[in-house]
Structure 1
Amino acid sequence: MVAIDEAVFLDGPPCVVVDRVKMTYKVPSSIERSTSTRKGIRGSLRKLLGRENLVTVSALKELSLVVERGESVGIIGRNGSGKSTLMKLISGQAAPTDGAVYASSTPVLLGVHAALVPDLSGDQNVVLGCLAMGMDMDEIDQRFESIVEVSGLDSAIYLPMKSYSSGMASRLRFAIAAAVNPEILLVDEALNTGDAQFNDRSKARMDELRAQAGCVFIVSHSLDTIRNMCTRVIWLDKGELIMDGSSEETTNLYQEFSSNLSKGNNITAARIRDEARANLVATQIMERSSGRRMEGR
């Protein structure tokens, strides 16, 4: 990931630019390349030597995005659509096969599987997590109460993490990640805790982050979470960008698509997806002599 140089933007830099990014993987396959390798000496020798048959999988097809300050972007789609791959590319956890990602500061990724130490108490994990994000002990002391308040754990903050439910652990992860006022926050399936009060607190916290000229990305299978917390929604399907629009419009169309799929109306579902894709106005990122300039959607 490359930091955005403010000098090359005429209207000031956005928070995140995804510039013609693609992501492919080489994965092993049990399907033989041909019948000649399935049978006979060559096939047996290859298996004996442990040579795997590798195939190329396209996790994310060419995609460009410009995310401005103050936006809260939801990312929706079926399993395997490329949501988590896009989050990894934006956060810098993975490098794209093609293209580039530019960010105005280091994104903070909050995922369900973010590492915490089960044998330590919640308050000890708060200290460790905040230290890892660059805070000193004075800052941690100042923000400790607000972290506990956002998490809603109350006295449970002093219990071992291994005694927490998955929802409690997710709430604490969010509270820790959001405590450092990151300019770019990425939330991957960490808000579906079923706790209405926490949803209100987390939404209020993300509103604060966006008000501080930051942006938020949220991956969630809960369309209610996306509608309540996002100003813009991106719909991915099989690694392809299908729709990039308002929260209400995009989630409604995706819900109609999903409903038809669940009822076995595959032709209708495909028509809904294809029409949405056909109406997509793609982001164009153009090269200029003075540097890069983003043309938004």
Structure 2
Amino acid sequence: MASTDDLNGTPVLIADGVKVTYHITGGRRTTKDPNKRSLKTLLGPSLIPTSGRRTLVAVKGVSFVANHGERIGIIGHNGAGKSTLLRALAGLLPLSGGAVYTGGTTSLLGVNAALSSSLTGAQNIELGCLAMGMTPQQVKEKYDDIVEFSGLGDAIDLPMRAYSSGMAARLRFAVSTAATSDILMIDEALATGDAKFRAKSMKKMEEVREHAGTVFLVSHNAQTITSFCNRAIWMEQGLVVADGPVEEIMERYKESLK
């Protein structure tokens, strides 16, 4: 069997012209006859939606090759398409064009765990872990750690529909970090809960990262990207602006912010 060092530099994910399109119903704005003094016109013409269907191309043909051992930061302004691209790479969004080829298992932290609101937290731990490819024995070994990390305590035996959104998010994150994936994807926007849990989440991300072959990270924090990654992909308006060594790309990106 090849060692981890032997695998470094081996392609593990290929994005070939990846395109993601959202279809939006309604949402357009229009104006009405100013002579008709309805409540809507008094509130302002920008508040009057019309029916209709429009499309938004969030990712516009992105291509790159990710290799084993790389830590790839995806940067860009709000609306650049970073999180959409990450979800597409993880197989959580349908592509409207192009293809994604992977040479291993992928996991997007906090999202991949497929949980059911009708089941208890304990049952969802088993369901989510099995869905990620863990064996029943592995689930049993990880169970106590997952419960402890989630901070749910006795609530773990309640139906998930009784959880607050924060409790449910903590359980998803705890389950999703239980399995080791070949390709780990992290979106800092998924971090939830209070400051204490966010700190635990970041520490857990570091631990999981050490066991993953390739890591993708979406973050607005330049320092996090620089310290965490060795490569950066800069996106704007659904397109790749630059791709290369993290120090070089981050310097160019910070210059653009000025």
Q: TM-score over 0.5 for the alignment?
A: yes
How many Å apart are 1:144 and its aligned residue?
A: 2.2
Q: Secondary structure at 1:185's aligned position in 2?
A: strand
1:200 aligns with 2:198: no
Counterpart position of 1:254: 253
Q: Which residue is 1:40 aligned to?
A: none
How far apart, in 2, do the equivalents of 1:79 and 1:73 lie? 18
Gaps of 5+ in 2: 1-7, 31-49
Give the match for residue 20 of structure 2.
23
Q: Which amino acid counterpart does residue 151 of structure 2 have in structure 1?
A: L
Please give the alpha-carbon distance, in whole angstroms, between the structure 2 residues aligned to 1:113 and 1:224: 27
Structure 1 pair 113/68, CA: closer, same or farther in 2 (3 Å)? closer
Q: Which residue of 2 aligns with 1:94?
A: 93
Structure 1 runs not aligned, ≥5 long: 1-10, 33-50, 261-297
What does residue 282 of structure 1 align with?
none
Deviation at 1:198, TM superposition (A): 3.5
Contact kept? 1:82, 1:239, Cα under 8 Å: yes
Q: Percent identity?
A: 38
* Residues 202/156 of structure 1: CA separation in 2 closer, same or farther (3 Å cut): farther
Q: Match of 1:70? A: 69
Matched, 1:158 2:152: no
Per the normalisation by structure 2, the TM-score is 0.69
The structural deviation recorded for 1:220 is: 3.0
| 8 Å Cα contact 1:77/1:237 also seen in 2 | yes
Number of residue-to-residue matches in the alignment: 225
* Residue number in structure 2 paired with 1:14: 11
Measure the CA separation in 2 of the matches of 1:231 and 1:215: 11
Give the alignment of 1:112-261 within 5 angstroms: 116-117=115-116, 122-148=121-147, 151=149, 153=151, 155=153, 158=156, 160=158, 162-163=162-163, 166=166, 169-188=168-187, 189-191=189-191, 194=195, 195-209=198-212, 214-258=213-257, 260=258
Distance across 2 between alignment mates of 1:224 and 1:163 = 34
Q: Secondary structure at the match of 1:15?
A: strand
Equivalent pair of 1:116/1:125 in contact (CA under 8 Å): yes
Match of 1:266 in 2: none
Report Cα offsets for 1:25-73 as digits up to 9, x if no partner. Answer: 45456479xxxxxxxxxxxxxxxxxx96544433222221111112222
The separation in 2 between residues aligned to 1:93 and 1:82, in whole angstroms, is 14
Contact in 2 for aligned 1:24/1:97 (Cα 8 Å): yes
Amino acid in structure 1 at the alignment position of 2:206: K
Q: For the residues of structure 2 that align with 1:235 and 1:93, how far apart are their CA atoms? A: 21
Asked whether the equivalents of residues 22 and 63 of structure 1 are also in contact (C-alpha less than 8 Å), the reply is yes
Contact 1:122 1:156 in 2 (8 A): no
Aligned equivalent of 2:107? 108
Q: Structure 1 residues 156 and 234, CA, compared in 2 at 3 Å: closer, same or farther? A: farther
Partner of 2:84: 85
The whole-number CA distance in structure 2 between the counterparts of 1:76 and 1:171 is 25
**What RMSD, in angstroms, separates the aligned Cα atoms of the two structures?**
3.5
SS of alignment partner, residue 131 of structure 1: helix
Name the TM-score, length of structure 1 as normaliser.
Answer: 0.61
Distance 2:119 2:55 in 1: 42
